[in-house]
Amino acid sequence: MRREGQAPGKGAELVRLVDVSKTFGTKEASHTVLQDVNFSIVSGEFFILLGPSGCGKTTLLRLLGGFEYPTTGIIALDGVDLSNVAPHRRPINTVFQSYALFPHMTVRQNVAYGLRMLKWPTDKLNARVSEVLELVRLSQFEGRRPAQLSGGQQQRVALARALAPSPRLLLLDEPLSALDLKLRKGMQAELKRLQRETGITFVLVTHDQEEALAMADRVAVVDGGRVLQIGPPEDVYTKPTNPFVADFIGEANLVAGELFGRPGMVLALRQESLTFSPGPGRMRGVVSAITFLGSDILYEVKVGEGQTDLRMRGRRETTPKLDVGAEVFVDWAEASEWWMSK
Ligand code: ADP
Ligand code: MG
């Protein structure tokens, strides 16, 4: 492990969690929220914790921030165990979902607040505040108070305030969930840009798999307090290590291996990998539902004596127009098959 004060470069291990678990409650009524969590976060990466509501994402983020302490295990930053480091002494900042801005202060004062607490000299402080306001494109609003800003602008103030002291780690808990779809897409690109331009390591929590795939350098998929898989978005999408991940990321079709003489196995087939075949295909079925998704169209097809509904997603222009009840053959390339243990 590294010694304190030694700054690792981009690509070096920044955070390590070793056998971390978290249990809430008393001995009589305890509730284990995180179990056997082991992973590392690399300096300079955009790391995303992805999982369904209640799986323990916020708890994991609060452990990193120092707002909670692990029941067992170690969390280290730059090789230094954080157990005895109070939240305000960690080089870690959090952007809260509620933004938590000071209503009576101007944008500039809000952003300067943390630096004042850290006793930055005035010249340096003023220059840094101007720099981060420029970074989040709020320079022209520096004299306003939070109530005079839109929700998106308030969020930028919260981001500027958290980025100002150049923390080693920035924690963001579902930062985009309160925004409408259009603003959310814009902010995804904006967060990517801020992360790239500052080089600060971001750890973002979301339950939205599309958001995670769009922004992350690496994703950790969490379910029931366990980290199931970690990897770059493309790997997690194309090579899921278990059926939960395959279904949660991109809603793959999960087909019982028994149908293909492979008991104990599950075949994952991506919606976009399936096609209708004019002649006999791998499976025969009946169209049971059709959903219009704008640029795409989604067919559901009952196959295997009606036990399984396959979802097929294709471009609207290039997918045959069929009606509910149509008898079809479904096909796929062998290369798009992905087998997993149950
Ligand atoms: P997520 O952010 O993934 O939705 P959380 O980390 O907030 O999940 O919560 C995970 C589980 O831990 C939930 O069942 C929640 O009720 C429980 N939990 C969270 N904080 C506490 C607490 N302070 N005391 C008891 N249970 C808690
Ligand atoms: Mg949460």
The ligand that comes nearest to the alpha carbon of residue 37 is 1
Give per-10-residue mean pLDDT for the chain (342 aa): 48 95 91 97 98 97 95 96 91 88 97 95 97 96 96 93 96 90 90 96 96 97 98 95 94 89 93 90 92 94 82 93 93 93 89
Name the residue of 26, 28, 49, 58 whose CB sits within 8 Å of the most ligand 1 atoms, as the mutation to test its pocket. Answer: 58
- For residue 317, give both structure tokens: 């222009």
Question: At residue 310, what are phi and psi to the nearest 5 degrees?
Answer: -90, 135
The full set of domains in the chain, from first to last, is 13-244 (3.40.50.300), 252-341 (2.40.50.140)
How far apart CA 103 and CA 148 sit, in angstroms, is 10
Question: Exposed (0-12), middle (13-18) or buried (19+): which is 325, by Cβ within 10 Å?
Answer: exposed
Write down the residue that tokens 């509904």 correspond to: 309
Å from CA of 5 to ligand 2 middle: 32
pLDDT of the residue at 279: 81
Query: How many whole angstroms from 55 Cα to the centroid of ligand 1?
Result: 8
Ligand 1 pocket test, pick from 23, 50, 59, 174 with the greatest ligand atom count within 8 Å of Cβ, gives 59
pLDDT score recorded for residue 6: 43
pTM of the model: 0.91
Contact 274, 340 (CB under 8 A): no
Q: Which residue's alpha carbon is at the smallest distance from atom 17 of ligand 1?
A: 33
